[in-house]
Each structure stands twice: as structure tokens, then as C-alpha cells.
Amino acid sequence: MSANPTISDNPLLQGSGLPPFPNITPQQVVPAFKVLLAELDLELSTLEANVLPTWSSLVEPRDRLTERLNWSWGLVNHLMGVKNSPELRQAYETVQPQVVQFFNKLGQSQPIYNAFKALQASDSWKTLDSAQQRIVEAAIRDASLAGVGLQGEARDRFNAIQMELADLSTKFSNHVLDATKAFSLTLTTKEEIYGLPPSLLSLAAQAARAAGEESATPENGPWRITLDLPSFSPFMQHSTRRDLREKLYKAFITRASSGELDNNPLIERILELRQELTELLGFKTYAELSLASKMAKSVQAVESLLEELRLASYDAAVKELAELKTFAAEANDLQHWDITFWAERQREEKFAFTAEELRPYFPLRQVLDGLFGLVKRLFGVTVTPADGQAPVWHEDVRYFQIADETGTPVAYFYLDPYSRPAEKRGGAWMDTCINRGKITENGVTFTRLPVAYLVCNQTPPVDGKPSLMTFYEVETLFHEFGHGLQHMLTKVDYPEAAGINNVEWDAVELPSQFMENWCYDRPTLLGMAKHYETGEPLPEHYYQKLVVAKNYMSGSSILRQIHISILDLELHYRYRPGGGETPQDVRDRITKTTTVLPPLPEDKFLCVFGHIFSGGYAAGYYSYKWAEVLSADAFGAFEEAGLEDEQAIKATGKRYRDTVLALGGSLHPMEVFKSFRGREPSTVPLLKHNGLAA
């Protein structure tokens, strides 16, 4: 960079290609967006003045415009998730209102909306292929949901609501990150670490060193336990100190529910604004507005699926809790902070292995080899390291290439595997870096290859050992890679329908949940599970136990998902802000039929429910279960073909790749599913896989 960097040096204005991460600083965000939004504003006015109802004069220029904005804004959003800092937050909060304003302006453009309507009504409509038609239909629908039909005061109010909601959602997410970061438990005596596995002691000593205890060691401490999942979960599973489990559990369930980081007022305000927005658009409830762009036809359809699964899992969960109480020493007084601990002891006794015993068999590198071997076996594609070919945002980030049968590259992805509680938000996700598309530049047309971000929060390498994964972390990696495959193996050349774009939200989890099933597939599991020191493969008895233990407490875990899904739906369907009931009251009411051990009074789960208050899942959390019906049924096709029959697996894998993974948003998900499975989905495979049906 020159000594006096001009705006043209601003990497956030690059607008296409791989982001130059090492050159990006939070200080560049505000100046970049000042320039970018002014340019886009001008482009939008020019487009509106000259728009014609044809694909090349309407859809293509509009797409070029949104792609530039999505490239720069997507990059800032990505960094907010993986490299959060006070400086970046401030820049983000300065720019966000202007970005929301521009999206509103584009979504509400009358000339563009009218041109889409004219294109749909024109003779040339029949010449468009199904993907193009679906893109146009989605644009018309999205414009009406973006308030294109509103005038005057109603439109101003709608835009003000959108702006406030965006701000609240960012605040909500920051509060959760800060509250999770704010609490830690420092242990100094041997009595306080009874039961804790060596892997956690190493991690906790590393956390203590990072916090300034330079001489901390796994053997002698001090040990720092945090609310970050790689620390919190194993502590709750293994600590014999009931008092410390209680302390940690209570800190976990009360995050972001008091003081400066209190999300309660934000929740009430978000729900209030969503209801007002809904009524402006002519809907009765936010749930109906949300479903207008989803696969499920109605709230009733969603509720009947959830009720079917609730009935199937409730009795099983009651029975599981009763068995656990009989087993636990605290039988008469089993509390929430005892559940994970005793469940782990019961699992060890029932299946004669511990979750920790398996860790040494799952070093990240081998798990990746196993995952890549599986996608080659199923879909014929080869994944190879491409480190050094792309700038990265952190030294632990890897870069990979995916090539087809002929060795031609078809996609790339970044992998950011480890937890970094100071700057990275929790959870795991796949995000779009670059969309596939046919691009013409200087008279030359070429296919731009898709690039994905895969982000996990697994146990980092500690004390010279590689990242040794829990089986749950293995499943999470497979899950996110499934999302990645849909983004990367798409064959659609229009960016607006390539990969996960224009796929109904409640079908998006199909490819991710589908991949999780393969963690229990014998060749896949035994192919990757090798001891990191000796190279010895996972003993057969462990494989058998894992399969048997797969459905341990499955009634309880399904019921938990149903609890959350119904809670989300209820808040956006029956709850009325200011109607005398608080969001917490709604949860208390829902727990009566969806939990077997009611949450503690101080449990403020809603305050960290980022999926619906700072993610895209509002009135859509049911999508996990909706899509799991599809994914279990899709995996059923491989079971029917015969998991031992390599030819059949290849053929079924090719069909899956050519439909579910290739077609993206070019067809309705039900059509995509039927083209793969030959029929509509059934709930039977899901209940079977969870051991809840014969």
C-alpha cells in the first residue's frame, strides 16, 4: 500500500474474487461503504431509468449491482463472526443503517418491480428456463415482502422498522458473545478438578495462560473453565464437583439476561417490531409472513409435523429421565446440572466406553481425510489442500480445492476449525464467499467457481497435540460440509439460484443433516478413526458401541428440538406484544408439554436464542426438523440400495449429486426431492433412525 492510501487502495472495494484478508482493517470499512453506496445508488438510478422487461436488461444488471454489495458487505459480516473486535463493531454499526437503507431502496424499486411483472406477463416468459422463471417469481415475491406495495408514511415506517431490527439483531449477537466471554471459573486445587479428562485440563491450562497465568500447566494448574462449548461441555459431563457444575450451569443459562448485556428488552422490542412489520404487509402474524417464502405451506402443516414428532418423543423422554434418576446417586434430587454428568456415567456403563476415550482416534487431519474420502466415494469429487493459494484471516485457516472426475477444479473452500472465544462467535456455520455464475468480462464468457467459508468451534490443538475431536465435533464438521457441498457442487449458472441461493429455508438443512448419517457408516468411520500416536485403527468394539449408543437419550434430544421449534413458532404466531403475556411466559407455557424436566425459573434461554433473534430462523427454527425428515429419507435411498454395494452407492450418489446438490434453487425443493427419491418424503425413516419406530 502507498504511504498515502487513496480510496482505490481500499481492499473492501475490490468487489470480486478472493478477499485480501491480511490487507483489511476495521478503519477501512466506513470510507469503503461511503464510496460503494454512492456508486451503487447511481447505478440503481441508471438501471431504473433504462430498465426493460428482459433478462439481459433487468435481471443481469440488477444481479451485478447486488453482487458488488454482497461481496463487500458479506466480507464485513464474515469478519464480525470470525475476527470480532471493538473497532470492527463500531465500523459495522456506523455502516449497517446505510446498507439496510440501500437494500430497502432496491427491494422497493417500483420500476424494477414493474419490469419483473411485465417480464412474467410477456411472450418471452416461455423462452426462460425453469431456473430463470423461479428467479423472477422469487424477485416479485421478495419485492412485495420488502414493502414495494407500500406508499408514503407506511413505507417510511416499514423502512424505519427494518433499520431498527437490523441494529437490534447485531446488539443481540454482540451481547451473547460478550456475556459468554465475561464469565470464567479459575480452579486452583486438585479437589476442584476431580473427574476432568486430560484434554480439558490441557485446554483449561492454556486458557489460564492466555489470561495471564504464565506458569499454568495441565498437571498443576491453575485451570480456567469458560462458557465456551469446548470448555463448558466436558466440564458438565465429567466434573465430580456438583457445586461447581451448578455454578457453571447457572452462569450458562443466565447469559445475556441482566445488566448492560440484558437481551430481554431487545427480545420484546424485536417481537413488537416484527408484528408491526407483518401488519404493514397485510399479514396477520409474523409466522405467516415467514412461511410465505418457505416450503411448508402453512403454520398448520408445520404444527402437525411438530406434534407428530412430539408425540413420538415425549414418552421416550419421560422413560429416559426415569431411568437416569434410578441410575444417579442424586436420584431423589436430580437437578439440571446433574443431567449431563449422570447421562455420561450411564452411557459409560451401558455401552462401556467414554466420549473422551474416542478423542485420540479423531485428530482433525484424519477426520478430514475420511470426509474427503467419503465425498469421493459418493460423488466422485476430489478434495486437495490449496493452502497458500488464498489469503486467510487467521493462521489456523486452511484452503482447499474440489475437482471433478476429470481433475478440473469446480470449487474451493476455507476451513476455520478451532474455537477462539475472544473474537469468534460460537456455533458452526457455512457461508458464501463467492457464488457460481456464468460471467462475461471483456467479451469473454467463463464460469466463475464457487467458494465457501466453513467455520467450526472445535477443540484447538493443545500442548503439542493435534486437535483431537469429540464425536459430536466430527458430526458437526460433516454437517457444515454438507451445506458446503450444496454451495460448491451446484450446476446452476445464475448466481441468484446457484447453490443455496433461492432454496426455501426449510429445505436448506437437507444436505447438511444428510451428511451426519455417514458418521455411523462403517467404512467411513473406520477409515478415518485412527489413533493419532500409534496409527492403530479404532477397535471394532468401539464402532459397535457407537452405533448402539447412537440413539441413547434420543427421545430427550428430539423433544428439546421440538420444544425450541414450538417456542419459536408460538412467539411469532399466537403471542401478541403488549397482550399481558411476556416472551418468558410463553416459554413457561410451552414447557408443560415439551419438556420432562421443566427449566429452572432463572433459565433465560431466549436471551441467547440467536437463531431467531440475530439469525435468519425467526418462525423457521422448525426447518431443522422439516429438513431432517427429508435428509433421513434421502439417506434411506442409500440404505435401500445397500450400503455394502459400492456400485449401488456410486449410482445413488450420482443421482443425489445431480439433483439435491446440483439443482440449487432452480427448482422447488419438493420437485428436487421427488427427482431424487421418485416420491414425496415420509417421516418413517426419521423415526426409525432415531430408534422411535420399529
**What is the per-residue pLDDT across 119-147, written as a single tens digit (0 to 9) for each?**
999 999 999 999 999 999 999 999 999 99
**Cβ 641 vs Cβ 649: under 8 Å:** yes
- Domain end, chosen from 591, 619, 647, is at 619
pLDDT exceeds cutoff 70 at 4: no
Contact 682, 688 (CB under 8 A): no
Tell me the HSE value of 580 on the side-chain side, using a 13 A CA sphere.
0
| 693 has pLDDT over 70 | yes
Domain that holds residue 312: 294-352+554-619
124 & 17 share domain: yes
Provide mean pLDDT across the span 242-261.
98
Pair 210, 328 in one domain = no
Give yes or no: residues 506 and 599 share one domain: no
Backbone phi, psi, residue 371, to 5°: -65, -45
Question: Is 325 part of a structural domain of the chain?
Answer: yes
> Do 518 and 374 sit in the same domain of this protein?
yes
- Give the chain's domain count: 4
Domain harbouring 134, CATH code:
1.20.1050.40
Q: Which of 67, 320, 344, 480 is catalytic?
A: 480
Q: What is the pLDDT of residue 6?
A: 54
Asked whether residue 628 is assigned to any structural domain, the reply reads no
Say if residue 412 is in the same domain as residue 373: yes
225 assigned to some structural domain: yes
**Which of 549, 574, 603 delimits the end of a domain?**
549
Residues 437 and 537 in one domain: yes
| 325 and 453 share one domain | no
User: Is residue 115's pLDDT more than 60?
Assistant: yes
Kindly report whether the global pTM for this prediction surpasses the value 0.85: yes
Instruction: Give bridge partners of residue 384 from the DSSP assignment.
Output: 401
Beta bridge partners of 430: 454
Strand (E) positions, 547-605? none
Q: Assess if residue 59 is contained within a domain.
A: yes
Q: Identify residue 124 by its one-letter amino acid code.
A: S
DSSP tag of 394: S
Residue 676 lies in a domain: no
Q: How does the average pLDDT of the chain come out, rounded?
A: 95
In the predicted structure, residue 1 carries a pLDDT above the cut 50: no
Among candidate residues 512, 528, 549, the one where a domain is terminated = 549
For 387-403, write each residue's pLDDT tens digit: 999 999 999 999 999 99
Report pLDDT for 3.
40
96/74 same-domain check: yes
pLDDT of residue 9: 87
Please check the confidence at residue 2 and state whether its pLDDT lies above 70.
no
169 CA to centre of own chain: 16
Of 216, 162, 257, whose CA–CA distance to 587 is shortest? 257
Cell of 365: 487431519
Examine the domain organization and report whether 513 and 368 are in the same domain.
yes
Is 480 considered catalytic here? yes
Q: Are residues 545 and 563 in the same domain?
A: no
**Are residues 468 and 391 both part of a single domain?**
yes
More confident site: 681 or 355: 681
pLDDT tens for 412-423 read 999 999 999 889
Same domain, yes or no, for 227 and 119?
A: no
How would you label 286-298 residue by residue, b for 16+ Cβ within 10 Å and e otherwise? Answer: bbbbbbeebbbee
> Cβ distance 274 to 612 under 8 Å?
no
User: Stretch 609-625: mean pLDDT, rounded?
Assistant: 95
pLDDT-based confidence at residue 5 (cuts at 50, 70, 90): very low
User: Which tops the pLDDT comparison, 364 or 616?
Assistant: 364
Mean pLDDT of 169-189: 96
Asked if the structure places residue 163 within a domain, the reply is no
Q: What share of the chain is helix, strand, coil (3-state, %, to 5)?
A: 60, 10, 30
604 part of a folded domain: yes
Alpha helices in 257-403 (DSSP H): 264-280, 286-291, 299-327, 336-351, 355-358, 364-379
**Would you state the cell numbers that stand for residue 330, as one nine-digit string?**
442424586
> With contact defined as beta carbons under 8 Å apart, do 560 and 392 qualify?
no
Strands (E), 424-576: 429-434, 437-441, 444-448, 451-458
Task: Identify the pLDDT of residue 360.
Answer: 96
Percent pLDDT > 70 in the chain is: 99
Tell me whether residue 274 is in a domain: no
Confidence of residue 694 (pLDDT cuts 50, 70, 90): low
Average pLDDT of 72-97? 97
